[in-house]
Amino acid sequence: MDAATVPALHDAVLRWYDDHARELPWRGTAASPWSVMVSELMLQQTPVARVLPVHAAWLERWPTPAALAEESTGEAVRMWGRLGYPRRALRLHAAAVAIVARHDGEVPTSYDDLLALPGVGDYTASAIASFAFGQRHVVLDTNVRRVLARTVSGVEFPATAVTRAERDVATSVLPDDEATAATWAVATMELGALVCTARQPSCDACPVADLCAWRGAGFPAYDGPPRRGQAWAGTDRQCRGRIMALARETASSIGAAQVEAAWPQAEQRERCLAGLEADGLLTQVTPGRWALPG
């Protein structure tokens, strides 16, 4: 995409976002930086519809980082519920503790300070700085990467991991004005979530269809490395999920017989129990009994 076309791209996407943005509790001037941070950790690999009720319950119970930091890690895991990837709850708790210790309980505003928090990587730091504080950063989640791959680079899907070339493309189309850049980040994310989807893009409803390099090239099929699916049945992820659900729903500790009933395959069950202990998600309180961490 040549530089002369970029302003038209900005205008079309931003106007579309003005008309089609979903009202979400972590968006808008009323959302606290903590609300934004919690949403970013919860939304990783998890659909908005599943996050909404958990986000609301989390903010009601822990409206500030300090409130969460005072609780045990086990309570954070329990409140995480069935969102999946519960290590994110541990990371969010650790980040809350660090925010209290280093930043007087306030989510830091700078990218570098955010990046230094436990469990916060480049994407999360950029997203919080952009969405909570209106700063200019390249924010590359799955949806944004797909939108830019198609509209600017002319390919169906981006590489399996962010490349330097991909980051350069994203930087080249990032608006110069901070506030506009922050809106651009969330607008391209929304476009990827609602219109330029992975399986069935709605090109007829796309505000930049006439500018899209992938459409202009005749929709060439993806020819990169195989894209991984989301297998679930019979996997260690399913086994771990069953065990964690049992632990969350039990007031005290769970015993070996309960775990065996939840997952009969002994070798896989023992492997997953060991993994959950190693990840800090379960604690063996006595031989053959486990509980959420204290």
Q: What is the pTM of this model?
A: 0.88
User: Which pLDDT value is given to residue 223?
Assistant: 78
Positions marked active-site: 40
Q: How confident is the model at residue 181, as a pLDDT?
A: 97
The residue ranges of every structural domain in the chain are 236-291
Round to whole Å and give the CA distance between 39 and 62: 13
Lookup: tokens for 101: 């210790």
* Burial zone of 117 (CB within 10 Å; 0-12 exposed, 13-18 middle, 19+ buried): buried
pLDDT at 114: 98
Q: Residue 228: CB partners within 8 Å, gap ≥ 6?
A: none
Task: Report, as ranges of residue numbers, the positions in the chain whose pLDDT lies below 50.
Answer: none
CATH number for region 236-291:
1.10.10
Burial classification of residue 158, based on how many CB atoms lie within 10 Å of its CB (0-12 exposed, 13-18 middle, 19 or more buried)? buried
- Model pLDDT, residue 87: 94
The angle subtended at Cα 84 by Cα 200 and Cα 270, nearest 5°, is 125
Residues 7-30 have pLDDT tens digits of 999 999 999 999 999 999 999 888
